[in-house]
């Protein structure tokens, strides 16, 4: 079983930056796709970014393109989400997820294991 632990969330002013980390353990990390999703209060869990097993392919929600960057370090079993130029509407709980496939998908239902989430709050 893969265990995922997110970290790096917090409170930041609009325009600031945060880097989220997702540490995986328990299974071969380098062969699976990873995704980041977020959920604001009263809203559904939305896709943010995804990366394939090698890091050669990535995808982003339109709302974060040009501001967020997803990456991974398979040697460290860790995925990252660099978030720049943060806006108040980015406020949410951010979750990382793993998909038992080398290729990613954009919908939460196609991911197999989730972390516990980390809160990101952007003040105006």
What pLDDT does residue 112 have? 95
DSSP 36-94: EEEE-TTS--EEEEEE-SSSS-EEE-TTTTTTEEEEEEGGGTEEEEEE-S--GGG-EEE
What pLDDT does residue 2 have? 80
What pLDDT does residue 82 have? 98
What pLDDT does residue 10 have? 98
Residues 116, 7: contact at Cβ < 8 Å? no
> 50: buried, middle or exposed (CB in 10 Å: 19+, 13-18, 0-12)?
buried
Rounded to whole angstroms, the Cα distance separating 114 from 96 reads 6
- Which portions of the chain are predicted below pLDDT 50? none
- 119 closest CA partner among 91, 100, 98, 97: 91
What pLDDT does residue 7 have? 97
């Amino acid at each position: 079983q893969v265990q995922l632990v997110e970290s790096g969330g917090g409170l930041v002013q609009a325009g600031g930056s945060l880097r989220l980390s997702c540490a995986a353990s328990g299974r071969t990390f380098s062969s699976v796709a990873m995704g980041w999703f977020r959920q604001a209060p009263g809203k559904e869990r939305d896709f943010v970014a995804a990366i394939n097993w090698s890091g050669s392919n990535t995808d982003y929600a339109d709302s974060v393109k040009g501001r967020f960057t997803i990456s991974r370090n398979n040697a460290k079993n860790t995925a990252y989400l660099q978030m720049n130029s943060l806006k108040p509407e980015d406020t949410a709980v951010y979750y990382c997820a793993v998909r038992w496939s080398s290729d990613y998908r954009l919908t939460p239902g196609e991911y197999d294991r989730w972390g516990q989430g980390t809160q990101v709050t952007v003040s105006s």
